[in-house]
Amino acid sequence: MRIALIAICLVATTANAVFAQGGPAIVSVSPVVVRQNVEAGQSFVGHVHPIRRSVIGSAVDGRVVEFKVNAGDYVTAKQPLAQLLTKQLEIQIAAAEADLKLKTSELQELQNGARPEEKREANAKMAAAQAAYDYVQLKLQRTKALFERNAVSEDQLQDDMSKALAAAQMYEAAKAAHDLVLAGPRVEKIAQAQARELMAVEEVNRLKDLLMKHTITTPFEGYVVAEHTEVGQWIKSGELVAEVEELTELEVEAQVLENYLDFVKLGSNARIEIPALPGQLFVGQVSAVVPRGDPRSRNFPVKIRLKNKFDSSNHPLVKSGMFARVWLPVERRESVLLIPQDAVVMGGPVPIVYAAVRDAAGAETAKAKLIPVTLGSAFDEYFEASGPLEPGMELVIEGNERLRPEQPIRIVAASRGAPTPAAQPAGATTQLPAPGNRPQ
């Protein structure tokens, strides 16, 4: 800490010469506030976990012909990870679709009924049978009349009677065939054809579903964190292909001693530091307090939901498995100083803020004063802080990323609005700066 302060002082002694040639930087400010009757924070060890993690396996047996991703790649939902050999399955699908067309055609033939030509043929056959029947009936009547006059023999009469009976049966057969043509196919026949067509449809669906399973996809967007196969490998159903983790949101799990659990509330803010990312500061929300602890250490898992940050290449800064320090409320204090989260600048030996020292009361022009701070718990858009701070001190919240000590600045209104004091518990008060010292 002492070395960091010496370095800051050295920078401050040369800052006026460096920035004398340029105009003042444009900044926005917000005051330091006092919040009374609040919970103080304590640091706990935590580890980063993904919100969702999927170990993806194959649903079918097959040989890998394409493996489309590498560990570290970003993938979208339903994006293919690997492709299995499908040639034999494609042949089966083509045969099943041809069989479906056959079954559909047979059903349509039954549903359409007889063609007009078939109906005319049935009508003609029935008319011919009717004419033959009428002819033999007339001939039989003449034979009977001749037989009564002993002009023909009894054998002739019996022969004509037999022909008349045969003609009557032929007519009945022709009429029945005619009626069948007009009535169309039986309902049961149509139902059987419909069932055969449905079976063919489901067979095609089954094979297509099997084909889809030969393309192994990711269930959600995220990053590939492990590979378990390669091109040419034969995999069986259930064997692993790849692992994918969603890193847009993360979960930090901290082990909290049972004595402090009463202060940890769902939805409350928690400040998180990732030692591997010294230039970044994160704020998450308590999402769960697991009601089962370690019987030896009396520690209980507390989970904090955290939104990740991404670099210029759209790669996540916080990664699964990283070590974290989590500040959670563990006791109550009478009052603490709160500074806006946007005022904190990370990346150096310690967190710093820039105070705006106005050239005169109410003036827009000022100088930037570097102040090292120690951060505590997070409260909405504020951090608990300690250091050479005073209630009402104006801190730079916009334009502070490139400021240097003693650099001239010009104060303007915040483009997105200054943060408001954190919500107060019952009976608590917030001390704000006098009206003349508030941001202009």
Q: What are the structural domain ranges in the chain?
A: 2-52+245-416, 53-85+217-244, 92-209
Q: Which has more pLDDT, 191 or 328?
A: 191
- The reported pLDDT for the residue numbered 436 is 34
Whether 215 shows a pLDDT value over 90: the answer reads yes
Lowest mean pLDDT among 83-92, 155-164, 344-353: 344-353
How do residues 222-249 score in pLDDT, each as one tens digit?
Answer: 999 999 999 999 999 999 999 999 999 9
Whether 430 shows a pLDDT value over 50: the answer reads no
How do residues 118-127 score in pLDDT, each as one tens digit?
Answer: 889 999 999 9
How do residues 256-310 score in pLDDT, each as one tens digit?
Answer: 999 888 888 898 888 898 989 987 889 899 999 999 999 999 999 999 999 999 9
Q: Which of the 8 DSSP states describes residue 419?
A: P
> What superfamily would CATH give domain 92-209?
Helix hairpin bin (1.10.287.470)
- Tally of residues, the chain: 440
Q: Which has more pLDDT, 145 or 201?
A: 201
Residue 233: count other Cβ atoms within 10 Å of its Cβ: 14
Determine the average pLDDT of the residues in 14-40.
68
How do residues 341-395 score in pLDDT, each as one tens digit?
Answer: 889 998 778 899 999 999 888 888 899 999 999 888 777 788 888 889 988 899 9
Predicted confidence band of residue 434 (pLDDT cuts 50, 70, 90)? very low
Determine the average pLDDT of the residues in 60-88.
94
Return the structure tokens found at 35. 């919040």
Q: Which has more pLDDT, 362 or 161?
A: 161
How do residues 171-213 score in pLDDT, each as one tens digit?
Answer: 999 999 998 888 888 899 999 999 999 999 999 999 999 999 9
d(C-alpha 241, C-alpha 219), whole Å: 13
Return the structure tokens found at 289. 């307090």
Whether 3 shows a pLDDT value over 80: the answer reads no
Alpha carbon 48 to chain centroid distance? 21
Question: Mean pLDDT across the chain, nearest whole number?
Answer: 85
CATH number of this structure's domain 2-52+245-416, picked from the four choices 3.30.365.10, 2.40.30.170, 2.60.260.20, 2.20.28.10: 2.40.30.170
How many Cα neighbours within 13 Å face the side chain of 181?
A: 19
Predicted confidence band of residue 221 (pLDDT cuts 50, 70, 90)? very high
- CATH for 53-85+217-244 is 2.40.50.100
- Cβ–Cβ under 8 Å, residues 325 and 272: yes
Whether 37 shows a pLDDT value over 90: the answer reads no
Predicted confidence band of residue 323 (pLDDT cuts 50, 70, 90)? very high
d(C-alpha 141, C-alpha 163), whole Å: 12
d(C-alpha 61, C-alpha 4), whole Å: 62
- The reported pLDDT for the residue numbered 292 is 93
Whether 426 shows a pLDDT value over 60: the answer reads no
Determine the average pLDDT of the residues in 142-155.
88
Q: Which has more pLDDT, 314 or 193?
A: 193
Whether 75 shows a pLDDT value over 60: the answer reads yes
d(C-alpha 67, C-alpha 70), whole Å: 8
d(C-alpha 148, C-alpha 336), whole Å: 140
d(C-alpha 307, C-alpha 285), whole Å: 10
- The reported pLDDT for the residue numbered 268 is 86
- The reported pLDDT for the residue numbered 420 is 53
Residue type, position 368, single letter? A
- The reported pLDDT for the residue numbered 264 is 87
Put residue 184 in one of left, alpha, beta given phi > 0 → left and psi -120 to 50 → alpha.
left
3-state DSSP call for residue 215? strand
d(C-alpha 134, C-alpha 293), whole Å: 105
Q: Say which residue the tokens 């033959």 belong to.
A: 132
- The reported pLDDT for the residue numbered 9 is 46
Predicted confidence band of residue 40 (pLDDT cuts 50, 70, 90)? low
- The reported pLDDT for the residue numbered 437 is 34
